[in-house]
Structure 1
Amino acid sequence: MKGISVIIACYNSSRVLADTLRHLQVQKGCEGIAWEVIVVDNASTDHTAEIAEKVWEENPIVPLRVILETKQGEAHARRAGILAAKYDILSVVDDDNRVADNWIATLHKYYQNPEIGLIGCAGEGAFETPPPAWFKKNEHAFAIGKLYEGQFTDITEHALVPGAGLSVRKKVYDHLYTQGWKPFLEGRVGNKQTAGADSEMCLITRRLGYKIYYSNELHFRHFTTADRITWERLRNMTYGFGAADVFILVYQIHWLESTGRTSMMTRLRKLWWFNLLGKKINYFTKKNKIKDPQERELFEIRNKAFCETIVKERIKFQEAFAYLEDIKPIKP
């Protein structure tokens, strides 16, 4: 049905979820728009589900459902929310995203264009305590800060946006699930900082023939608790980004070749050992040129993650290109 399903995947979200829901409860300009909120409790051990129901009872502006997904992992929680969604536009809101009061109305306006399959946006930082000095340089890792210029921009060529605040047509997933699609990347699992599920959501949507857009008009405040802004967490996320880079590379090479840009380099980059060699050369070429010790540490972590992952997943990497080729685009 025409409308918007807001999906909030939660794992032990009791500290942040109430304010996220209250920002959804004050939406303006959405009269006549059908929408709902789905909270997916991903096997939390706190009172996430109870808080969601209690807060929503204060102002039940639209229907809210709380569903349980016992298999831990952001990808599993998202899938549960997607399968439960009633409406044709999915708005993926993190448990700590305080969306603007025109969120629903703006999404509804954007998706009147049938060529658009997925939209990302900018998150503004909101902090429990002042962030450390290194944070500003690394804020994009925490889904904070502007990635692209322009109020509403076609970024199909690049096709990567933050997962927080991302929206996508449900038709994308209905189509993929009927083909038995299995994503390469699983995203965060509990407190384990794996990565890439959001990037894959963008890239597979592009593979199906849709355009990807980025909005600086659609925005939210990303409330971040002090325990989520630590150097150790950034290190762990950086390793996750590096591991995800392996299969993001598969999508990027496939995109180049599917748009007529086949070359000797794209053919070579389908070979796992060629990418491993390239990463090692890049590492030894650049590491001593990076003067900031923290920046150099993150560079080394991401490089190491890519190298370890492509060796471990070399067979899966080689087979991934044919797998993507078998995914059929959506016909207009």
Structure 2
Amino acid sequence: MIRLSLIIATYNRAGQMLRVLESVVAQDAPAGEWECVVVNNNSTDDTEARFAEFAARHAEFNLRMVTERNQGLSHARNRGIAESTGELIAVIDDDERINAGFVRAYIAFFDAWPGAEAAGGKIIPEYPSGRPDWLSPLTERPIANPLDLGDAVCEFPASRIPGGGNMAIRRRIVERFGAFDVTLGRVGGKLVGGEESDFFERLRAGGIRLWYVPEAVMWHIIPSSKLTSDYFRRLSYHVGESQRQRAKMHGRYAKALLVEAGKWCASLLLACTLTPRRSLWLLRMRWGITRGLLARD
């Protein structure tokens, strides 16, 4: 019986998709207890053919691909959830790899904690081209979203949520609160996000506690293309844009501006403690987020 469904949305990243699938078929959980649903979100490369070849070579696993014609990460993830069959749903991304005990860890957690509804695991950034010297913990977060709350199961602090590439929920959560808001999230190459923050905000507002599962480990692979000045500028702007969208959706735009002003004060103070290069990139990030937050709809 399928107990857990892994959902992977992909768009024009066939090579990266195969890398995460290699870690998927290395799972130590019994193959009959889980499935992997890959959602092809209108890829124009050889994603479909390469997946078919991979699945044929690993026929002992429950691997399948579905297509979502509506462009966007939220659309794709929602399609994967709708097509899946497990009572537990884990969402991962195509730019990562997971540890061999990933599926087992989430199944064991939800079995041991029958009242738990939503969880997330450890996220470890991986830099194949090397970690740049300008990267500080502050500027790393929007790029790689590292997450390590220790080695024991615990509740997420109010300031953090599970990463979108390492989260798991019970299916009844989607039935109760809905899935990802399709007006939010990345579409093609546009870096606007916010769908995960929105999803977990709805859960918390409904009284759902979010749990950290340290044995579910994901390595977020950051290519050199995501470490350029141009990418960081666009990413920072779109972080602010997604914050603006969500703030206006919930009628708290004025509060968001006040919070941003406070973050400027904190950033300026923190910049004094960093190397000049790290300080510069921190202030670039803050400026980009502010521009996105102040932009017109």
Q: TM-score, normalised by structure 1?
A: 0.77
Q: CA deviation at 1:89?
A: 1.1
Q: CA deviation at 1:228?
A: 2.6
Give 5+ residue unaligned stretches, structure 1. Answer: 255-269, 313-332
1:107 counterpart = 2:102: no
Instruction: Give the residue type in structure 1 aligned to 2:220.
Output: H
Matches within 5 A, 1:244-255: 244-246=242-244
Instruction: Give the residue type in structure 2 aligned to 1:305.
Output: G
1:200 to 176, 198, 201: 198
Q: For the residues of structure 1 that align with 2:187 and 2:128, how far apart are their CA atoms?
A: 24
Q: Which residue of 1 aligns with 2:147?
A: 146
Q: Is the 8 A contact 2:103 2:216 kept in 1?
A: no
Q: Which residue of 2 aligns with 1:233?
A: 231
Q: Is the 8 A contact 1:117 1:205 kept in 2?
A: no
What SS class does the counterpart of residue 158 from structure 2 fall into? coil
Q: Is the 8 A contact 2:119 2:168 kept in 1?
A: yes
Q: Which residue of 2 aligns with 1:88?
A: 87
Q: CA deviation at 1:275?
A: 4.5
Q: For the residues of structure 2 that align with 1:133 and 1:229, how far apart are their CA atoms?
A: 11
1:155 counterpart = 2:156: yes
User: RMSD of aligned C-alpha atoms?
Assistant: 2.8
Matches within 5 A, 1:1-332: 3-28=3-28, 30-31=29-30, 34-112=33-111, 113-137=113-137, 138-155=139-156, 157-158=158-159, 160-177=161-178, 183=181, 186-246=184-244, 272-273=253-254, 275-276=256-257, 278=258, 281-282=261-262, 285=265, 289=269, 290-291=271-272, 292-308=279-295, 312=297
Distance 1:111 1:304, change over 3 A: same
Q: Is the 8 A contact 1:9 1:95 kept in 2?
A: yes
Deviations 1:183-220 (A, max 9, x none): 38511111110111122222222233321012332212
Q: Is the 8 A contact 1:187 1:194 kept in 2?
A: yes
Q: Is the 8 A contact 1:185 1:200 kept in 2?
A: no
What SS class does the counterpart of residue 61 from structure 2 fall into? coil
Task: Quote the sequence identity (%).
Answer: 20
Q: TM-score, normalised by structure 2?
A: 0.85
Q: For the residues of structure 2 that align with 1:128 and 1:199, how far apart are their CA atoms?
A: 28
What SS class does the counterpart of residue 16 from structure 1 fall into? helix
Q: For the residues of structure 1 that align with 2:187 and 2:129, how far apart are their CA atoms?
A: 26
Q: For the residues of structure 2 that align with 1:14 and 1:57, how far apart are their CA atoms?
A: 16
Q: Which residue of 2 aligns with 1:320?
A: none
* Greater C-alpha radius of gyration: 1
Distance 1:237 1:281, change over 3 A: closer
Q: For the residues of structure 2 that align with 1:250 and 1:272, how far apart are their CA atoms?
A: 5
* More moved, 43-52 vs 165-174: 165-174
Deviations 1:43-90 (A, max 9, x none): 111011211221122223321111111111100101110111111111
Q: For the residues of structure 2 that align with 1:147 and 1:46, how far apart are their CA atoms?
A: 35
Q: Is the 8 A contact 1:185 1:244 kept in 2?
A: no
What SS class does the counterpart of residue 67 from structure 1 fall into? strand
Q: For the residues of structure 1 that align with 2:291 and 2:123, how far apart are their CA atoms?
A: 29
Give 5+ residue unaligned stretches, structure 2. Answer: 273-278
Q: CA deviation at 1:226?
A: 2.1
Flag the structure with more relative contact order, 1 or 2, with Cα contacts below 8 A and sequence separation at least 6: 2
What SS class does the counterpart of residue 59 from structure 2 fall into? coil
What SS class does the counterpart of residue 163 from structure 1 fall into? coil
